[in-house]
Amino acid sequence: MAEGVKGLTREPGYLVLTDDRGRQTRYSIASLLRAADIPTGLTYSQVQAVTTLANLIVVLIRTLIARDVLDEQFLEDGDYDLAAIVQTIEDMGGDFGEPDLTVT
């Protein structure tokens, strides 16, 4: 950190510098941001990529089960089972029964 600066923290809309005497100065970051810097959410193409990734994970899981690397219990304590994994994949837009890797 810069000389004399003891800490840097964040508050909504501000950076807060604390000097070595404990004094805090808040600096607004609103003037530093542009609308282009703030993400607005997933685009249509990104959602499709999440679906493809979910289907790719399906292929990986099914391959590891077929090769007896995994069974239907995924964690040491059995916290997740195959049904929970399938539900999560389908919630992401994937298809455990017939994964489609051509979705882009």
pLDDT tens figures, 24-70: 998 888 877 777 766 677 676 677 888 888 999 999 988 888 888 87
3-state secondary structure 28-80: ECHHHCCHHHCCCCCCHHHHHHHHHHHHHHHHHHHHHHHCCCCCCECCCCCCC
Phi, psi dihedrals of residue 79, rounded to the nearest 5°: -65, -35
Please indicate whether residue 92 or residue 3 has the higher confidence score (pLDDT).
92
Indicate the pairing of strand 14-19 with strand 5-11.
antiparallel
Query: Three-class SS of residue 25?
Result: strand
